[in-house]
Amino acid sequence: MTLVNYANKTALNNVLNAKKIMVVFKDVKKGQQLTIKDDSGIVLHLENVEKGRNLIKLFDFSKLKDGNYTLELEKDFEIIIKSITVKGNIVVFDDDAQTKIFKPVIRNEKNRVMITQIAFDKKPIEIAIYYNGEVIYSETLKGSPILNRVYRLDGELIGDYKVIVNNNGRSYVNNFKL
């Protein structure tokens, strides 16, 4: 199948005269998620990876309307995004071009919450900490490519906590009890 796809490529090396494409993601693990979304963020396909190593999938875009789509592989600490454009009988896809979003790592130990994240795009990172459903702390960080924060919680306030980190139009949540 790879030979058929590559035989139909034009000189641009990323335009396919077909509606079917082969996608390869390297170093995947069982349980990671593969998603196809349209340009408004609507999920068209969602699957959990069944086995590790390299993920090779053949997708048929013949039923999709003209537009922009993303293939996203959500790994433990990062999301790999590949873009696809469908127009008529042409699919524009460069398997080597991809974007990576690093997910925040949110940990809690005793009465401390630790958040780390790499954000090379330097987009604002919003952090909110909730106690029993109410915001007890929030901040927006701008300009730094590396987030490394430790928040000390009042050890006397026993209950349900939630940390929400918003970045790149995505939310990451960590629920815990103290």
Query: pLDDT, tens digit, for every residue of 48-75?
Result: 998 878 888 888 887 788 889 999 999 9
In the chain, what is the straight-line distance between the N-terminal and C-terminal CA atoms, in Å?
Answer: 54
Which pLDDT score is estimated for 138? 95
Q: Which residue matches tokens 């590949």?
A: 82
Indicate the pTM of the whole model: 0.76
- Exposure letters 39-60 (e unless 16+ CB within 10 A, then b): eeeeeeeeeebeeeeebeeebe
Alpha helices (H) in the chain, listed in sequence order: 2-7
Asked if 23 and 56 touch (Cβ cutoff 8 Å), the reply is yes
**Which of the four pLDDT bands, split at 50, 70 and 90, describes residue 18?**
low
Q: How many CA atoms lie within 13 A of 160 on its CB side?
A: 4
Report which of 170, 47, 73 is spatially closest to residue 117, judged by C-alpha positions: 170
Distance CA 79, CA 131 (A): 29
> Who contacts 99 (Cβ-Cβ below 8 Å, separation ≥6)?
80, 81, 82, 83
